[in-house]
Structure 1
Amino acid sequence: MLLQNLINGKESSRQMQQAKFLDGYSPIFSQFGQNVYASDVVQMCIDVIATECSKLKPKHIRTDPNGMQATVKSGINRLFKFAPNELMTTRDFIEKIIWQLYTNYNAFIYPMYEIKSDSNGKKTKEYIGFYPLDPTVVTFVQDETNKLFIEMQFANGTKFTLAYSDVIHLRKRFSSNDIMGGGVDGQPDNAALLKALQINDTVLQGLDKAIKTSLSVRGILKINTMLDDDSQKAERAKFEEAINSGSSGIIPMDLKGDYVDLKPNPKLIDRETLEFLQNKVIHNYGVSVPILSGDFSDEQYQAFYEKTLEPLVISFGQAFSKTVFSPRELEVGNEIVFYQKDMMYLSTTAKLNLLKTAGEQGILTDNQKLAILGYPPIPDGDKRTMSLNYIDVDLVNAYQMGKKGGNQVE
């Protein structure tokens, strides 16, 4: 079933007017063009971020007043286990959101739901799909009660108006604009990045032309007589035939022509300059060369995770939870957490050493140990276990004195 058929006509009967924001800008936003995204370096940076984030495992969990967590049996977990909608797997879903976020500095997801009533008449939302949206124009409007709505126009010209509270909105570089990520106009502010990309493109074009020149023009045939155009063509053809037939490497020529050998010496950009230009671009996305190449250490991935990936993980969990759950559901501990089981920056050895040290002391519950490894909680995982190789410091002296006197300490 198409998304158009599912949400068509929602909120269409209300009288709307443009929403007013304190910054004074009209809340109509068109998506940014593809200028910077034509760069292969930019695409590689976004791709590595999207690929890493696609390893996230979203889960609906509930935290009790004692801080103990448990996975909830819900339709949300059923959807996120394999396919949030009929068109995408969970990995595809997350990867698409990242590309939209980095392309437009805004990403919109529509959580589709049905209202269900239990035997007592209590109504609850049952989620049946999560759909990434890619509107070309976004307009924020409000009704007579000042409730905020979002009107989205898509590439085929169709429009939908939805309550803003029903749409998951992710933002990047949320600064000048009151409601949209990016610059003051709600679009990516890529002016500084475009300068670096333009310089990089100029350098690459210069390299291309220098290489072609060095391989193409090798000399000049100087004809010592006045020839018309047809005669020049005939003389050049004769010279080229001499080149092709010169198996000895010696070209026979008559007295009318001189061959002047050119020694091309193109000036190429030094390695440091090329690396500087590339680093200007990749650092804009919080990616390093080892991360791009895949040859990184624990420390390098840790820096990449903390600078670039972790803010996205936190943002995803907060944005999804805020929209999917009511204030009361949030109050009793419901939330969506994007577990990073397959993208933790610590090596397996480092994680096991941490678990050994903290686990033997009985500091961590089983679920806390699972969280270190990036796994979601399990039932009955709130118990603590510890090693029997440790003793209370208050009993050490009594134990040693008992052993010395041959007595057993009770």
Structure 2
Amino acid sequence: MSIFSRIFGRVKPPARETSRAEIIGGGNAFSAWSGNAYSNDIFRSAVDAIARNAAKLKGSHIIKYRDHEQVTGDCKLNRMLQVEPNPYMSAFDMLYKLFTHYFLYNNAFAYIQKDERGQCVAVFPLNPVHAEFLSDTGGALYVRFIFSGGREVILPYADIVHLRRNFNGNDILGDPNDALSPALQLAHAQNEGIVSAIKTGASIRGILKRTQLANADILKEMRENFIQDYLNINNNGGIAVLDSAAEYIPIDNKPYAIDEKQMQAVKTKIYDYLGVSEAIVNSSYDENQWAAFYESVIEPLALQLSLEFTRKLFNDRERAFGNSILFESGRLQFTSNATKVNLIREIMPMGLLTVNQALEILNLPSVSGGDRRIQSLNYVDADKAEEYQLAKAKAPAALNGDTGAGADGKNGENGGTQA
């Protein structure tokens, strides 16, 4: 069985007749961008830096009740999201592919394969060359995907995870990366200029002039002998000896060198377009640079994934009962040890962390019985704070002997309490 048949073998054709969907703004079709941006080393390295960090996101099925209690959901669904979403790739591979498509095409698609009961059994990222949106007579939306081999399939849009970037001009699709074309053209011209300069520097270095008439064979022999004897690396003396029949005229080639500032400016334009800094790309970032990258790039991707998977995996009733998909990452693993220790010191006494959670922040293994919370006695339950304050207010009156007052309203000699 082919991979195509295994993925789409269970797909049934639409029950009703379909036609091109009428979209209010923009077209209703997607085509893979032909800008060939991924062949550019600057663009690819930036996309790779984002994708390999965002692919660390951990997807989980959670159920949140009205009393804000959160419990772990279906363990089978969690294993699929966290380990093996389909038989051909790991969870990291699937997310890496989705995010690469996300930045390359501004649209990323994944097919949610379901069994006869409508339960999710696999998630496959799709890489179509063309996608067209259709609708049936009942208003349901479908997508006709055409792949590079010419095969096509029609899938319900309700079973498609669709991530969009630069979502502006079209009601369904993200806008293409046309705004990136000038920067990519500049980067390509710079690379071609470097290659041309290297070739020019390795071309003609001089002219060997024959002062007497000679045929082509003699001239060719003179050239080869001159190169072998005097332009060879083994000519340690560096001196060439010629008679009156020949004259060597050197040529001073000064190839054009591209300005480093110009190259950096083009690189910065591409990085800015993708929302990533050079420190993130070459992994020289510090704690603050990582925090900025996480909040501006990784967190929006995690939110987009969480909402889209929640919408497509659960119906309205299931979502009303608190079912959702949450993608999150341990962002603290990239902070310094000093920051981790200070964080644990500040929040652990409040009972916000278990022992194992604190060990996980420090990248240490969990311990047996480490799921308990430790709280300082300096903190009191908010519900008991008022009782504590009232009891403290009554205590001085009891210590002053108010309960042993005499008939004249004054304290008797024996009316006081003894410590």
Cα deviation digits, residues 165-222 of structure 1 (max 9, x gap): 121111111110110112xxxxx223x3222222222223222332333344332222
Asked whether 1:196 is paired with 2:196, we answer no
Question: What is the distance in 2 between the residues matched to 1:271 and 1:224?
Answer: 45
Structure 2 gap ranges (5+): 364-369, 401-416
Q: Which residue of 2 aligns with 1:320?
A: 309
Worse overlay, 201-210 or 330-339: 201-210
Question: What is the distance in 2 between the residues matched to 1:317 and 1:344?
Answer: 21
Q: Which residue of 2 aligns with 1:100?
A: 101
State the AA in 2 paired with 1:15: E
Greater CA radius of gyration, 1 or 2? 2
Question: What is the distance in 2 between the residues matched to 1:253 and 1:321?
Answer: 83
Q: Structure 1 residues 256 and 133, CA, compared in 2 at 3 Å: closer, same or farther?
A: same
Q: Structure 1 residues 252 and 246, CA, compared in 2 at 3 Å: closer, same or farther?
A: farther
State the AA in 2 paired with 1:189: N
| TM-score of the aligned structures, taking structure 2 as reference length | 0.81
Question: What is the distance in 1 between the residues matched to 2:260 and 2:173?
Answer: 39
Q: Structure 1 residues 26 and 265, CA, compared in 2 at 3 Å: closer, same or farther?
A: closer
Q: Which residue of 1 aligns with 2:164?
A: 171
Q: Which residue of 2 aligns with 1:140?
A: 133
Alpha-carbon RMSD across the aligned residues, in angstroms, is 3.5
Q: Which residue of 1 aligns with 2:407?
A: none
Q: Which residue of 1 aligns with 2:17?
A: 15
| TM-score of the aligned structures, taking structure 1 as reference length | 0.82
Aligned with residue 270 of structure 1, among 234, 252, 259: 259
Asked whether 1:129 is paired with 2:117, we answer no
State the AA in 2 paired with 1:133: L
Q: Structure 1 residues 176 and 246, CA, compared in 2 at 3 Å: closer, same or farther?
A: closer
Question: What is the distance in 1 between the residues matched to 2:38 and 2:229?
Answer: 49
Aligned with residue 206 of structure 1, among 168, 171, 193: 193
Structure-to-structure mapping, 1:146-185, within 5 angstroms: 146-182=139-175
Deviation at 1:344, TM superposition (A): 5.5
Q: Which residue of 2 aligns with 1:67?
A: 68
Identity over aligned pairs, percent: 30
Residues 85 and 129, structure 1, Cα contact 8 Å, conserved in 2: yes
Deviation at 1:339, TM superposition (A): 1.8
Structure 1 gap ranges (5+): 117-124, 183-187, 376-380
Question: What is the distance in 2 between the residues matched to 1:272 and 1:256?
Answer: 49
Q: Structure 1 residues 13 and 115, CA, compared in 2 at 3 Å: closer, same or farther?
A: closer
Q: Structure 1 residues 222 and 272, CA, compared in 2 at 3 Å: closer, same or farther?
A: same
Deviation at 1:91, TM superposition (A): 1.2
Aligned with residue 206 of structure 2, among 195, 198, 219: 219
SS at match of 2:60: strand
Question: What is the distance in 2 between the residues matched to 1:150 and 1:280?
Answer: 34
Q: Which residue of 1 aligns with 2:79?
A: 78
Q: Which residue of 2 aligns with 1:350?
A: 339
Residues 347 and 353, structure 2, Cα contact 8 Å, conserved in 1: no
Deviation at 1:111, TM superposition (A): 1.4
Structure-to-structure mapping, 1:293-372, within 5 angstroms: 293-341=282-330, 345-362=334-351, 364=352
With a CA cutoff of 8 Å and minimum separation of 6, indicate the structure with the bigger relative contact order.
1
Residues 63 and 334, structure 1, Cα contact 8 Å, conserved in 2: yes
Question: What is the distance in 1 between the residues matched to 2:396 and 2:165?
Answer: 65
Question: What is the distance in 2 between the residues matched to 1:353 and 1:337?
Answer: 27
Residues 62 and 333, structure 1, Cα contact 8 Å, conserved in 2: yes
Deviation at 1:365, TM superposition (A): 6.7
Question: What is the distance in 2 between the residues matched to 1:246 and 1:55?
Answer: 57
Structure-to-structure mapping, 1:384-403, within 5 angstroms: 386-390=375-379
Q: Which residue of 1 aligns with 2:269?
A: 280
Residues 61 and 334, structure 1, Cα contact 8 Å, conserved in 2: yes
Q: Which residue of 1 aligns with 2:226?
A: 239
Residues 103 and 274, structure 2, Cα contact 8 Å, conserved in 1: no
How many positions carry a matched residue from both structures? Answer: 384
Deviation at 1:69, TM superposition (A): 1.3
Q: Structure 1 residues 127 and 38, CA, compared in 2 at 3 Å: closer, same or farther?
A: same
Question: What is the distance in 1 between the residues matched to 2:229 and 2:156?
Answer: 79
SS at match of 1:135: coil
